[in-house]
Structure 1
Amino acid sequence: MRKLLLGLDLGSSSVKASLLNADSGVVHASKSMPSKEMPIMAQKSGWAEQDPEMWWKYTVQVIQAVLKTGKVKPGELQAIGIAYQMHGLVVVDKDHQVLRPSIIWCDSRAIELGNSAFQELGEEYCLGNLLNSPGNFTASKLRWVMENEPEIADQIHKIMLPGDFIAMKLTGEILTSETGLSEGVFWDFKINELSDKVLANYQIPKSWIPEVKPSFSKQGEVTTEASKITGLEAGIPITYRAGDQPNNAFSLNVLKSGELATTAGTSGTVYGVTTEPLSDPKSRVNTFVHVNHQIEKPSYGVLLCINGTGILNSWLKRNLGAGDFDYQEMNIWAKSAPIGAVGLSFLPFGNGAERILENRILGAQLLGLDLLQHDKTHLMRAAQEGIVSALTYGFDIMKDMGLNLNKVKAGRANMFLSPVFRSAFIHMNEVELDFYNTDGAQGAARGAGVGAGVFSTTQEAFETLELLETFTPNPNFIPQYQEVYATWKEHLLTFLKN
């Protein structure tokens, strides 16, 4: 009988499920829904919300699809793992009913509340104990609800992160994890507990915080009701949960100090693992609990995040092509334009407040447009090079923190499918890039196997992970790409001065 593991990856664009064979590493079925990106509601500038019930609808559909395609028989599925978009806020009442749309990761409305909390709690406490400014994270979003929607706050029974919500729908239990609470800036790293000071400052009742479970552990079982809806067998355990960036690192077997992972979906990230509780004085990059953290063996993830990444590519596709071309064609056009796109530069910061810009909302900017020279090929290339330039700007911050950035791992997904994007990334940053046959849903499946004891060690979980290719910088191209970055950075600094 096959030993199968189900991984779910809840993003802001889609929900993906993968059915992994624990023995062979073969993916028997994989499905992503919807076919077009899930809508993000923005009632006001800087806002970003999604309906958690929409997430659940697509979760049910992808589960049903992979169970059918994979021809799963009773007893084969061993465990479920869940990865999810970080920093979102879900609030439910005592009957587990959602009280309002989720305020998701790229929503900027709570910036000033976070800035005020940083001053009130003090820089020394925030950077020393929280490793971050409260900023625009989940705790600040919750305080915004309390101040602006008291009628909603009065009904709150529990708060959750997006993955906690999906787990609740499957198991009926409301739980969370250390890494999840740290991403919400609820966690005191010095005492490895909830921060009573943050809760007191924001006046958040401690009873609203779910029970904490390790990332790798049994976290409830599929209920009879969820079984009827999804087709899953009742009693199958959830044994892993993590935010998308810690999970992306896990999916690439990035678990040791000095290892780095990157991804470029709706947002773009670089995630470095360290045993030291590092912090950036300006909180332009952020430190969270990594999935394998233990008190006796600490493990932290330093996260660089650029909000405006794949969403810029998606915007170009949607507005220039009206559905008439796909991302592969866009990548081909980008490759046909020369490095530097004949002087065209894109600042991709059009998806809310950017942490690397100290939570400023800059907006996306297209610079150097020549109506007699530039066409869609230059536009596509400038967008991809602009996104990589933004990541490079963040890379420099991480280097200043003491992280060693020489080799990075990425999965075969999203913008790393583009040869232009990969080339710009390795040459601007002068790094080697290991390219693996994996994604977030597969990572969540392997995590489930670790949490359920199907794999005896994390090393065993990754014995079947396939390295596809290693990309190494060509010294001849480094000066050209660094010139592109220098021009881009000059544009950025000009805007930041204004």
Structure 2
Amino acid sequence: MTGAPLLLGIDLGAGSLKASLIAPDGTLAGEASHPVATAAPKPGWSEQDPHAWWRAAIDAVPRALVAAGGDASRVAALSFSAGAHTQVLEDADGRVIRPAILWNDQRARAETASLRGRADRRILEIGYNRANPTWTLPQMLWLRENEPEAFARVRRMYLAKDWLRSRFTGGFETDTIDALGTLMLDARTVTWSEELCGLIGWPMETLPPIVQPRAQVGGVTAAAARATGLVAGTPVICGTSDTAVETYGAGMMRPGLGVAKLATAATVSVLSPRAVPEPDLINYYHVIPDHWYVITATNSCASAHKWLRDTFFRREGEDGTAAFDAMERLAAATPTGAEGLFFHPYLNGERSPHWDPLLRADFVGIGFNHGPGHFVRALYEGISYSLRDCLEVLRARGLGFEVARLTGGGARSPLWRQILADVLGVRVELPAVADASFGAALLAGVGIGVFADEAAAEAAIRVVATHEPDPGRVAVYERGFALYRDIQAALAPLNHRIHAELAGG
């Protein structure tokens, strides 16, 4: 090996897989990504082919190695992350049974209602979270009711990052955080719950052993080394869900610092010394031992931004980045408040604070004075208002914060960062690198002792931009937020009627 050691983080995102190599001081040495397609066979469905994840990995990892200088012997360890709840089901011969149902899939609405009717209180008491269509437990009940042959064939259930990692190691395990995300775990004992699994008749023997996110779970196999360019035997650390490592990589290692994630979906997270198992909150163990992170979330963020670009702003053959840049310039030239134009980002239903899969997106208040820039700015402001809705849920439990670190692709927009600071009324900070692949790489370092413990990795995190809330704009957005909420309340019944009309048709 020549040169300093490197740590590899591999994140499976909703639209792409990304591999990042970092030095122990947090410097990014090389990165690469590869797109992953999502299928929507029916409205509200969201599925991916797990084999596409492996194809993405064997493309991205070698290119990241080249970007970092090409010496795979420098890679001291690697770790993984992916969206929570997403499962891969294998049969007795190790074959994938069906496409993976993603975390943002909405098909399990009826099954969620059934679980709530039968065991709403017990699910919350045991799993510290409420049943919702995006969680594994309702999704697997949907499988039992709609694809019973597939349900009967299951011999192993992986979580997404675990199945991908198994291509590197051949192992079968998951971590505590992803296990909690199935809604099949007893959060009190950190063991699989026979009671929760029994609600859907799920066979306990299909569930993987549970380890800590920092646990070493094997080494890169010879076959995986040939496919990826890594060195056989390189230590592999379990890893965990994308939001867990993103909040970790952004530096949420102490109270008073929150994280806002502007990715496919958007989340607001805060560190807590205890779980807060209430119906409108999401609770997870944190990477920092003996702590939790509590989440509120909005379903559509960068996905809504991309939808607006592709539907109205991108010309055929035009580079997508150029279209985003043009949209940013238009929005920056538009007044605060978009001159009375409001956007609600409910393109795929909504989580916090409404927990209503039937809500629909809208632009409200359109006039002849509104041009393209107004629609972009209204989108930025509407998603920021939705995150304010999320933050208010936390503040009501005494879990607010004064500083928000940003993660996700949306954080690249300086205008959006400032709007978020003004809407939330908090200082917003942008780390130099804070995506899930970076957090996974830090976790790889913890697993092999490069960092003395989880908190020691904070030294590798650098803030490169800061946005303070502007009092004048804060006042405008306070009034706007009240209107935003009133519009949502007025339109919700109409959203339900639209859904009923479509279902009846």
TM-score of the superposed pair, with normalisation by structure 1:
0.93
Residue of structure 2 equivalent to 1:315: 307
1:258 Cα offset (Å) = 4.1
Does the 8 Å contact 2:120/2:131 carry over to 1? Answer: no
Instruction: For 2:198, give the aligned amino acid.
Output: A
2:203 to 186, 192, 205: 205
2:460 is the alignment partner of 1:464: yes
1:6 Cα offset (Å) = 0.4
Aligned to 1:204, the other structure's residue is in SS state coil
1:259 Cα offset (Å) = 3.1
Task: Give the 3 Å change call, closer, same or farther, for CA 327–240 of structure 1 in structure 2.
Answer: farther
Task: Give the 3 Å change call, closer, same or farther, for CA 327–431 of structure 1 in structure 2.
Answer: same
Within 5 Å, which residues of 2 pair with 1:225-244? 225-244=223-242
Does the 8 Å contact 2:253/2:458 carry over to 1? Answer: no
Does the 8 Å contact 1:279/1:401 carry over to 2? Answer: no
1:143 to 118, 141, 144: 141
1:352 Cα offset (Å) = 4.1
2:375 is the alignment partner of 1:379: yes
2:406 is the alignment partner of 1:404: no
Residue of structure 2 equivalent to 1:392: 388
Within 5 Å, which residues of 2 pair with 1:316-355? 316-320=308-312, 321-322=314-315, 324=318, 325-355=322-352
1:355 Cα offset (Å) = 4.6
1:110 Cα offset (Å) = 1.2
2:39 is the alignment partner of 1:45: no
Q: Return the alpha-carbon distance in structure 1 between the equivalents of residues 464 and 201 of structure 2.
A: 50
Q: Return the alpha-carbon distance in structure 2 between the equivalents of residues 193 and 68 of structure 1.
A: 41
1:419 Cα offset (Å) = 2.6
2:6 is the alignment partner of 1:13: no
5+ residue gaps, structure 2, are: 495-505
Task: Give the 3 Å change call, closer, same or farther, for CA 306–382 of structure 1 in structure 2.
Answer: same
2:445 to 445, 449, 455: 449
1:221 Cα offset (Å) = 1.6
Q: Return the alpha-carbon distance in structure 1 between the equivalents of residues 329 and 33 of structure 2.
A: 24
1:303 to 288, 295, 306: 295
Aligned to 1:75, the other structure's residue is in SS state helix
2:484 to 475, 483, 488: 488
Within 5 Å, which residues of 2 pair with 1:107-146? 107-123=105-121, 125-136=122-133, 137-146=135-144
1:256 to 251, 254, 257: 254
Instruction: For 1:21, give the aligned amino acid.
Output: A
- Deviations along 1:413-470, one digit per CA (max 9) or x if unpaired, are 5112223321221112111112111122111111100011122223432323211122
1:353 Cα offset (Å) = 4.8
Task: Give the 3 Å change call, closer, same or farther, for CA 255–460 of structure 1 in structure 2.
Answer: closer
5+ residue gaps, structure 1, are: none
Within 5 Å, which residues of 2 pair with 1:65-144? 65-123=63-121, 125-136=122-133, 137-144=135-142
Q: Return the alpha-carbon distance in structure 2 between the equivalents of residues 256 and 97 of structure 1.
A: 43
Fraction of identical pairs, as percent: 26
1:255 Cα offset (Å) = 2.5
Instruction: For 1:437, give the aligned amino acid.
Output: A
Residue of structure 2 equivalent to 1:414: 409
Does the 8 Å contact 1:435/1:468 carry over to 2? Answer: yes
1:497 Cα offset (Å) = 4.2
1:98 Cα offset (Å) = 1.3
Q: Return the alpha-carbon distance in structure 2 between the equivalents of residues 432 and 471 of structure 1.
A: 6
1:72 Cα offset (Å) = 3.5
Instruction: For 1:495, give the aligned amino acid.
Output: L
Does the 8 Å contact 1:111/1:359 carry over to 2? Answer: no
Instruction: For 1:216, give the aligned amino acid.
Output: R
Does the 8 Å contact 1:199/1:206 carry over to 2? Answer: yes
Does the 8 Å contact 2:88/2:160 carry over to 1? Answer: yes
Aligned to 1:477, the other structure's residue is in SS state helix
Q: Return the alpha-carbon distance in structure 1 between the equivalents of residues 380 and 176 of structure 2.
A: 35
Deviates more, 1:301-310 or 1:70-79: 70-79
Instruction: For 2:393, give the aligned amino acid.
Output: I
Instruction: For 2:42, give the aligned amino acid.
Output: K
Aligned to 1:46, the other structure's residue is in SS state coil
Task: Give the 3 Å change call, closer, same or farther, for CA 88–441 of structure 1 in structure 2.
Answer: same
CA RMSD of aligned residues (A): 1.7
2:169 is the alignment partner of 1:175: no
Instruction: For 1:451, give the aligned amino acid.
Output: G
Residue of structure 1 equivalent to 2:502: none
Task: Give the 3 Å change call, closer, same or farther, for CA 74–387 of structure 1 in structure 2.
Answer: closer
1:19 Cα offset (Å) = 0.7
1:7 Cα offset (Å) = 0.6
2:33 is the alignment partner of 1:32: yes
Instruction: For 1:31, give the aligned amino acid.
Output: A
Does the 8 Å contact 2:266/2:297 carry over to 1? Answer: yes
Residue of structure 1 equivalent to 2:498: none
Instruction: For 2:260, give the aligned amino acid.
Output: T
Task: Give the 3 Å change call, closer, same or farther, for CA 409–74 of structure 1 in structure 2.
Answer: closer
Deviates more, 1:130-139 or 1:376-385: 130-139
Instruction: For 1:230, give the aligned amino acid.
Output: T
Instruction: For 2:339, give the aligned amino acid.
Output: V
Q: Return the alpha-carbon distance in structure 2 between the equivalents of residues 423 and 258 of structure 1.
A: 20
Residue of structure 2 equivalent to 1:435: 430
2:185 to 184, 187, 192: 187
Instruction: For 1:268, give the aligned amino acid.
Output: A
Instruction: For 1:204, give the aligned amino acid.
Output: W
Does the 8 Å contact 1:381/1:420 carry over to 2? Answer: no
Task: Give the 3 Å change call, closer, same or farther, for CA 352–494 of structure 1 in structure 2.
Answer: closer
1:335 Cα offset (Å) = 0.8
Q: Return the alpha-carbon distance in structure 2 between the equivalents of residues 13 and 335 of structure 1.
A: 27
Residue of structure 2 equivalent to 1:369: 366
- Deviations along 1:125-169, one digit per CA (max 9) or x if unpaired, are 233332211222011111211221122122211112111111111
Task: Give the 3 Å change call, closer, same or farther, for CA 116–355 of structure 1 in structure 2.
Answer: farther
Instruction: For 1:390, give the aligned amino acid.
Output: S
1:401 Cα offset (Å) = 2.1
Q: Return the alpha-carbon distance in structure 2 between the equivalents of residues 315 and 224 of structure 1.
A: 42
- Deviations along 1:333-391, one digit per CA (max 9) or x if unpaired, are 11111111111111111024535322332121111122x21111111101111111111
The aligned length equals: 485
Task: Give the 3 Å change call, closer, same or farther, for CA 460–355 of structure 1 in structure 2.
Answer: closer
